Amino acid sequence: MRINSPLKKGMADMKCNIAVASIHEYLDGDLPRDEIKHLQEHLQSCAACSTRLDALEKTNAFVQSLPAEAPPSYLSDRIMKSLPKSRRPASWTS
């Protein structure tokens, strides 16, 4: 017996797979405002998706916080020295 079919819970109810797709759109900054509302409603009643969003936001923040690795100071020199002496060997003869 499927009394608790999702449809019976009303229009606002969202399936988790759709919610997860929305979560990613949201994190991309691409989720339209009305769909954000929809998602919020789902998150209020679904601990799993809510936890998922938290974890993804945390992951993003952590990855972004990774400090840049600086190149060694000699790298610019090494690059400039590796360039061919003249870009156009023919040009100075003309």
Q: Which of 3, 11, 47, 80 binds other proteins (CB under 8 A)?
A: 80
Q: How many CA atoms lie within 13 A of 2 on its CB side?
A: 5
Q: Which of 62, 90, 93, 94 binds other proteins (CB under 8 A)?
A: 62
Q: How many CA atoms lie within 13 A of 16 on its CB side?
A: 9
Q: Which of 3, 63, 90, 94 binds other proteins (CB under 8 A)?
A: 63
- In the numeric block, the tokens 């100071």 are attached to 73
DSSP assigned state of 69: P
Contacting residues toward other proteins, per CB under 8 A = 21, 24, 27-28, 52, 55-56, 58-60, 62-72, 75-76, 78-80, 82-84, 86-88, 91
